[in-house]
Amino acid sequence: MLSGCGWENRLIFHPSTVIARTPRDVWLDYQDHYFTTSDNVRLNGWFIPHPQAIATMVWFHGNAGNIGDRVENIKLLHDKSAISIFIFDYRGYGRSPGNSSEASVYLDAEAAMEFVRRQLKVESRDLVIFGRSLGAAVAAEIASRHHSRAVILESPFVSISEMAKVILPWLPIAPLLSAKFDNLEKVGQIAAPLLVLHGDRDEIIPFEQGQRVFAAGREPKAFYPIKGAGHNDTFIVGGAAYYDRLRSFIETGQ
C-alpha cells in the first residue's frame, strides 16, 4: 500500500539523485542533517539559519530534481525575506533512498516536522509551512495536522486527477489514479493564516486552479498573483515585491 502503483508513481515523481549544488556555493552557511521516518527510511535535508530570522520555514519542494536544484531560490528567500529554512528530500530524491508515493511523502513530511520541532527546537509560533507545486499538496496535508504561524502554498493544483485532465486531456486516466493529493479537500482544514501565490502565466498548473484552492481555504487568507510568472520562475519574476509579500505575511498573517 505504501509503495502505491508503480506506473502512477513514475508519472508523478521525477527525482534526481545528483546534488549539483549546495548552499555553500552561494556563500550560505548551512547544516547537513539526516533524520529517520517512522518506517525507518533515512532522509537528508539542510538547515540554513538566518541570524535575524523572523521565522523558520519548512520547505516541501516539487516533484522534480532535488534540494540542490533549489539553491538559488534558497539564497534569495533567505536573504530577502529574513527567514531560516529547513528543506529536505523525499525518499528517492538526492541522498534520501527509496521510492516515493503519496503515502510515503506524507511519512517523510511528518518526519521532517518532527525533526524541526525536536532537534532544531522550533516552536509552532515560529514555524512556517511552505510548499510549491506538488509540495503544496504535501504542505496542505501537514498543515491540516499541525499548528503553525503561517502556511504558504505556491502554485498549487486542485488535485492529481484534475491535473491529469490538464496534462493528458486525450487520455482518460483520472478515474484510474489511486493518488489524490487533494488540495481542495485539505485546504479547508488549515487553521493557520493562509497565503496562496500563483504565477498568472503558469504553463503547467493553470492559474485558475490556484484560485480555486484559495477559495476553498479558511480565513484569514490572502491571494497573491505573481504577474508575468510561469511555473518555475516565480521567485525570479516576482522580484522584490514577491519577497516583501512573503515577509509581510509571515510577520502579520495578512
**Residues of the chain with pLDDT > 90: what percent?**
88
Nearest to residue 246, comparing CAs of 132, 108, 133? 132
pLDDT band at 251 (very low <50, low <70, confident <90, very high): very high
pLDDT band at 163 (very low <50, low <70, confident <90, very high): confident
Helix, strand or coil, per DSSP, at residue 33: strand
- Work out whether the CA dihedral 247, 202, 72, 113 comes out positive or negative: positive
pLDDT band at 1 (very low <50, low <70, confident <90, very high): very low
Catalytic positions, written as ranges: 133, 202, 231
pLDDT of 129 strictly over 70: yes
Asked if 19 and 93 count as a contact pair (C-beta separation under 8 A), the reply is: no
CA distance 93 to 87: 12
pLDDT of 5 strictly over 80: no
When pLDDT is averaged across residues 234-241 and rounded to a whole number, the result is: 97
Nearest to residue 112, comparing CAs of 133, 96, 126? 96
Q: What is the pLDDT of residue 55?
A: 98
CA distance 156 to 212: 9
Give the cell for residue 23: 548552499
Domains of the chain by start residue, with CATH: 6-252 (3.40.50.1820)
Q: What is the pLDDT of residue 237?
A: 98
Q: What is the pLDDT of residue 254?
A: 93
Asked if 184 and 140 count as a contact pair (C-beta separation under 8 A), the reply is: no
Higher pLDDT, 23 or 164: 23
CA distance 84 to 140: 20
pLDDT band at 4 (very low <50, low <70, confident <90, very high): low
Rg (CA), the chain: 17
When pLDDT is averaged across residues 134-152 and rounded to a whole number, the result is: 98
What single-letter DSSP state applies at residue 218?
Answer: P
CA distance 150 to 147: 9
pLDDT of 170 strictly over 90: no
**Residues of the chain with pLDDT > 70: what percent?**
96
Q: What is the pLDDT of residue 102?
A: 96
193 HSE (CA, 13 A, CB side): 17
pLDDT of 171 strictly over 70: no
Nearest to residue 158, comparing CAs of 194, 202, 207, 109? 207
